[in-house]
């Protein structure tokens, strides 16, 4: 009689073990192609493959020459500068627009709320090639194609949905009576927003801004349509390098992008946990 609980307990432990093992195998399958890039970026030879010296761990087979080339080649320097300039300004624009939209859409009395939300989130759903082609023809009529403002506005349009989603998530369960109380005490709507709403949604705003920056920093399809020679970003330069002249410096910049992505994702996770703690604080 007592063997039945032990029997089921054994299968439960085995099931949990197999689930963990399967999860780690799937993670390894997904991340292994990315991890292969890292040692290849230190190859002293201009090859996209492991040399015999690398496999035998000979010190002379490894080099930082491709990282040095990234930071000395004028094309890479221009691409890095453009990526940060376009990414920062597009992030600022999408953060402001997305936060304002999320605050408005979070109100139940907002007319056509579902339709407007679907419209604002459409850049995440519509195939990017269609969005990029539409942006090119539309922006060309205003002389924005091939200009920094045009690329920034296009990237802001792609990043705004991420800000809307993250800020909307932080506004779930928000007590708008706090805003009404601030207004009754004489605060202006703008001050009520910055003093009452903003402190509570700040983690969501920062998370959305980071997502918007990642979206702009990694985007290549819109750049192919919208950017001119002077607006080349890192992904555009990598795309050109793969087509024109294969060079391991692409692996070096890819490794740096991996590190930047990991740092941003860790920051987003820390902000998510902080936002959850703030949301649970009143209940405690």
Name the more confident of 259 and 277.
Answer: 259
Identify the CA nearest to 73 among candidates 264, 247, 266: 247
Q: Would you say residue 69 has pLDDT above 80? A: yes
Query: Mind listing the pLDDT tens digit for each residue in 218-231?
Result: 888 889 888 888 88
| Interval 24-58: pLDDT, tens | 999 888 888 888 888 888 888 777 777 778 778 88
Ranges 66-80, 132-146, 241-255: which has the least confidence: 241-255
Q: CB count, 10 Å around CB of 203?
A: 24
Overall average pLDDT of the 249-274 stretch: 82
pTM given for the model: 0.79
- Going by pLDDT thresholds of 50, 70 and 90, the confidence category of residue 112 is confident
Report whether 215 contacts 165 (CB < 8 A). no
Range 39-54 burial, b when 16+ CB lie within 10 A, else e: ebbbbbeeeeeeeeeb
Q: Tell me the pLDDT band of 143, cut-offs 50, 70 and 90.
A: confident
Note the pLDDT tens digit of each residue in 176-208. 777 788 888 888 888 888 888 888 888 888 888
Percent of the chain past pLDDT 90, that is, above it, reads: 13
């Amino acid at each position: 009689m007592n063997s039945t609980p032990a029997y089921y307990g054994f299968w439960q432990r085995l099931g949990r073990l197999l689930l963990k093992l399967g999860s780690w195998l799937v993670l390894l399958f997904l991340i292994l192609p990315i991890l292969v890039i890292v040692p290849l970026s230190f190859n002293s030879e201009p090859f996209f493959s492991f040399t015999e010296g690398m496999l035998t761990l000979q010190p002379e087979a490894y080099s930082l020459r491709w990282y040095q080339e990234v930071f000395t080649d004028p094309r890479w320097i221009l691409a890095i500068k453009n990526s940060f300039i376009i990414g920062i300004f597009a992030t600022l624009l999408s953060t402001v627009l997305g936060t304002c939209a999320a605050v408005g859409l979070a109100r139940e009395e907002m007319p056509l709320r579902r339709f407007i939300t679907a419209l604002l989130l459409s850049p995440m759903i519509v195939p990017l090639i269609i969005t990029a082609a539409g942006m090119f023809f539309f922006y060309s009529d205003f002389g924005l194609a091939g200009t920094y403002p045009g690329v920034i506005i296009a990237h802001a349009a792609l990043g705004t949905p991420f800000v809307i989603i993250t800020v909307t998530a932080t506004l779930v369960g928000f007590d708008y009576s706090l805003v009404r109380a601030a207004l009754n005490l004489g605060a202006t709507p703008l001050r009520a927003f910055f003093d009452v709403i903003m402190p509570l949604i700040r983690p969501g705003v920062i998370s959305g801004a980071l997502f918007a920056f990642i979206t702009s920093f990694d985007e290549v399809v819109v750049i192919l349509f919208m950017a001119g020679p002077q607006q080349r970003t890192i992904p555009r330069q990598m795309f050109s390098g793969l087509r024109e002249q294969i060079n391991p410096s692409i692996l070096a910049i890819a490794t740096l992008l991996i590190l930047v992505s990991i740092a941003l994702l860790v920051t987003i996770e820390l902000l998510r946990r902080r936002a959850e703690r703030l949301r649970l604080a009143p209940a405690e």
